Structure 1
Amino acid sequence: MTEIRTPRLLLRRWTDDDLVPMAEINADPEVMRWIGDGSVRDLEETAEDIERWEEEWDDEGFGLFAVELLGSGELIGFAGLSVPEFLPELAHEVEIGWRLARPFWGQGYASEAAHAALEFALQDRGLDRVVAITHISNSASEKVIHKLGMTPEREAEHPVFGVPLRVYAIDLTEYQG
């Protein structure tokens, strides 16, 4: 089983016990405002998400990690890698992403988890390049992206929801570990 420990977090594969807490995170409109069209997701949709994330692990050898606090074991969200199939021109890339419950914002957890996921991508999985895609107005995610050393590459539009997106990238030669 693939696990990564950071000073405060455990990044790991998903378990059945993660469904309800992840569904609670996905039900928060403030958490979801920058995801797709901003709609919240219910328990059934979250179960489908987790199943798809686990299938990506099996198919690609990477995926979105469940992120828990080391001290308490509490699930606080996810961070990891996925193929951004929602954006056809980037469907050949690997995207880094994260989503945390609101009580855990502003404490460095997203940056800590994202750094671990990026290192996993470039050093463990041998990827040469990783992208990040964010809504142009999502300044909190852009701060994390900049901390990762990623640079803006171009702008795009979500093909379904029409929202403006910014694509960032980093390749192995730029990575500072």
Structure 2
Amino acid sequence: MTWRAPEIDRRHEPYLGDERTMLAGWLNFHRDTLLHKCAGLTGDQLRTASVSPSTLSLLGLVRHMTVVERSWFRQRFAGVDLPELYDFDADPDAEFNTVDTADAEADFAAFRAEMLAADAVVADRGLDEVCAVKFRDGTTNEISLRWIYLHMIEEYARHNGHADLIRERLDGVTGG
């Protein structure tokens, strides 16, 4: 039997709530939207690149967001020393460029686990708490947890737009 990405009961964004509720709610909505865009597809479909020469695929997006969740919440904000998930020294875009041999089921499990781990490390932390982040240009800045939430929402929103187009190319499904 061919593995298929599971259907998801997508959480919707909150209409009312305090700032933390709104930020976490919108982040969860966008996390679920990416899973929704993948629902019902086979591993082969999830590995299919959008348009040549791009290597962008739905599975690549899931793997990328796993890395992004891990990086911003656990490695940077919480300061947890974790190994990288891919060999970024060999290929800075490894999460996208190595999907041909990827195990989609394992990648989805890693994504779900990383979201839970990310939520756990910030559950009792205030939005004004900061961490020092070294950027690619060598500068270091203090970044608040609030900024990280907003950045993650932006990151998912951008990539969910990519996911919309890839899904439509694969099987004609649009919207949602």
Indicate the structure with greater strand content.
1
TM-score of the superposed pair, with normalisation by structure 2:
0.27
- State the TM-score, normalizing by the size of structure 1: 0.27
Looking at secondary structure, tell me which structure has more helix per residue: 2
Higher relative contact order (CA 8 A, sep 6+): 2
Please identify the structure whose Cα radius of gyration is greater: 2
